[in-house]
Amino acid sequence: DAMVIQNPRYQVTQFGKPVTLSCSQTLNHNVMYWYQQKSSQAPKLLFHYYDKDFNNEADTPDNFQSRRPNTSFCFLDIRSPGLGDAAMYLCATTNQGQPQHFGDGTRLSIL
């Protein structure tokens, strides 16, 4: 059974139209991460939460925001997607210092 679930698997949105990606976990891990991964590049950390403490990477664009209403759920909001935001978005969870458990990712396309 999947332990980190991302929805949707594929998301197509129009240039500038807000989009929300979701992630849920059944592992009760205290740390959750959002990564952006473009072809042949390393996954780039956008945000992470340690419990409810939100940590924004210094180079994450202001266009990207995140919410973690409880331990199980985390959302990535892209307020005005541009063509450069087309990517795979990965959610991962862990207990600090341990290897991460990833979801299957959401492939975002921008028209």
As a whole number of angstroms, the distance between CA 109 and CA 19 comes to 11
Site for another protein in 57-96 (CB under 8 A): 90, 92, 96
* 69 DSSP 8-state letter: S
Residue 102 as a binder of another protein (CB under 8 A): the answer is: yes
Q: How many CB atoms lie within 10 A of CB 108?
A: 21
CB 45 within 8 A of CB 57: yes
Structure tokens at 22: 């979701």
As a whole number of angstroms, the distance between CA 86 and CA 10 comes to 11
Please, which residue, 69 or 99, has the CB nearer to another protein? 99
Please, which residue, 81 or 105, has the CB nearer to another protein? 105
Q: Which one among 20, 80, 98, 109 touches another protein, defined by CB under 8 A?
A: 98
How many positions of this chain bind another protein (CB under 8 A)? Answer: 20
Site for another protein in 19-38 (CB under 8 A): 35
Q: Which residues bind another protein (CB under 8 A)?
A: 4, 35, 40-43, 45, 48, 90, 92, 96-105
